[in-house]
Homo-oligomer: A and B are copies of this chain.
Amino acid sequence: MSQSDILKALIAENLVSDPKGARGRLLQEAARLFRDKGYERTTVRDLAAAVGIQSGSLFHHFRTKEDILKAVMVETIRLNTAIMQAAVDEAGTPEQKLRALVRAELESINGQTGEAMAVLVFEWRSLSEDSQADVLALREIYEALWLDVLGTLKAEGALLAEPFVVRRMLTGALSWTVTWYHPERGGLTLDGLTDQVMAMLGFSPAN
**Chain A residues close to B by CB (< 8 Å):** 37-38, 40-41, 122, 125-126, 160-162, 165-166, 168-177, 180, 188, 193, 196-197, 199-202, 204
Nearest 3 pairs between A and B by C-beta? A172-B176, A40-B40, A202-B202
Q: Is the CB of A202 within 8 A of B37?
A: no
Q: Is the CB of A199 within 8 A of B37?
A: no
Q: Is the CB of A172 within 8 A of B161?
A: no
In the complex, chain B residues whose CB is within 8 Å of the CB of A170: 173
Q: Is the CB of A175 within 8 A of B172?
A: yes
Chain A binding surface, main DSSP class:
helix
Task: Kindly report how many copies of this chain are found in the complex they form together.
Answer: 2
**A160 and B125 in contact (CB under 8 A), knowing A168-B176, A176-B171?**
no
Q: Told that A168-B173, A168-B180, A172-B176 touch, could you supply 9 new A-B pairs with CB distance under 8 A?
A: A40-B41, A160-B202, A162-B196, A165-B200, A168-B176, A169-B176, A169-B197, A171-B176, A201-B202
CA distance A172 to B170 in the complex (A): 8
**Which of A160, A166, A175, A177 gathers the greatest number of chain B CB atoms within 10 Å?**
A160
Q: Is the CB of B169 within 8 A of A199?
A: no
How distant is A176 from chain B, measured CB to nearest CB, in Å?
2
CA distance A37 to B128 in the complex (A): 11
Partner of A126 from B38, B168, B196 at Cβ < 8 Å: B38
CA distance A173 to B168 in the complex (A): 7
What would 23 A/B residue contacts be, using CB atoms closer than 8 Å? A38-B126, A40-B40, A41-B126, A122-B122, A160-B199, A160-B202, A160-B204, A161-B196, A161-B197, A161-B199, A162-B196, A165-B188, A165-B196, A166-B196, A168-B176, A169-B200, A171-B176, A172-B174, A172-B175, A173-B176, A176-B176, A200-B200, A200-B201
